[in-house]
Structure 1
């Protein structure tokens, strides 16, 4: 490639990090320190079109019923067990399960018996502040 072609491609990059990402989840989770309760969450990739977080809902955690007004959320369960509220019903989830939740749909996640490890992918990117609308 010519210098000009490389500069054109570089001009397309608007992500953080600004390089391709390869993450070994087993190693990632093994090195992560978890809080005593709640959700451990780290943004590992973001751009104006999407955002990806690696998360753990610690045993005993219920996130709380909520919905998003701007973003669709994709939850990919990669370890542990828990439950996700899907269309008003709690459904058991384990590694290999995928939950697709369009904006405006109420959902919740809980890890009652063991930690639940998952990826959350938001599209478009979560707006500044938050896109979480909590329900009681």
Structure 2
């Protein structure tokens, strides 16, 4: 049932109301329509606003992203399919669907998918700065 008496952008007290609409992702459909590269990470920005950014990603089997840290953004990684490993506090930890990695800015981390593709969501907050916020080690 539609909400009546509500106009997007009319709520009081918002610091920022951009964008003016929410989204609903069907991850199975998002991943099904992708053509993956032979190596590396396939990454598509699914939601973008001044405060945060959501990427739908696949680390292709045999891929290691590379050890790095972020100076501006915290990163939340939510594993939604496959298996892999994430470097957490200097140790490689196995990850599978349902696992969440919360990585504050300034913390060294890495992701690898050695035996199968790893599907995950990356949420960056605040929004990634223009260019990049990846500092490779």
What is the TM-score with the length of structure 1 in the denominator? 0.90
Q: CA deviation at 1:8?
A: 2.7
Q: Does 1:14 align with 2:18?
A: yes
Task: Encode CA deviations 1:61-100: one digit per residue, 9 max, x unaligned.
Answer: 0000000000000000000000000000000000000000
Q: Distance in 2 between matches of 1:7 and 1:103?
A: 32
Q: Distance in 1 between matches of 2:9 and 2:129?
A: 29
Structure-2 change in CA distance of 1:8 and 1:58 (3 Å): same
Q: Distance in 2 between matches of 1:7 and 1:33?
A: 37
Map of 1:31 onto structure 2? 33
Map of 1:108 onto structure 2? 110
Task: Give the RMSD, CA atoms, in angstroms.
Answer: 1.6
Task: Encode CA deviations 1:13-71: one digit per residue, 9 max, x unaligned.
Answer: 313xx421111111111111101100000001011110000000000000000000000
Q: Which runs of 5+ in 1 are unaligned?
A: none
Q: CA deviation at 1:6?
A: 4.9
What is the TM-score with the length of structure 2 in the denominator? 0.89
Map of 2:95 onto structure 1? 93
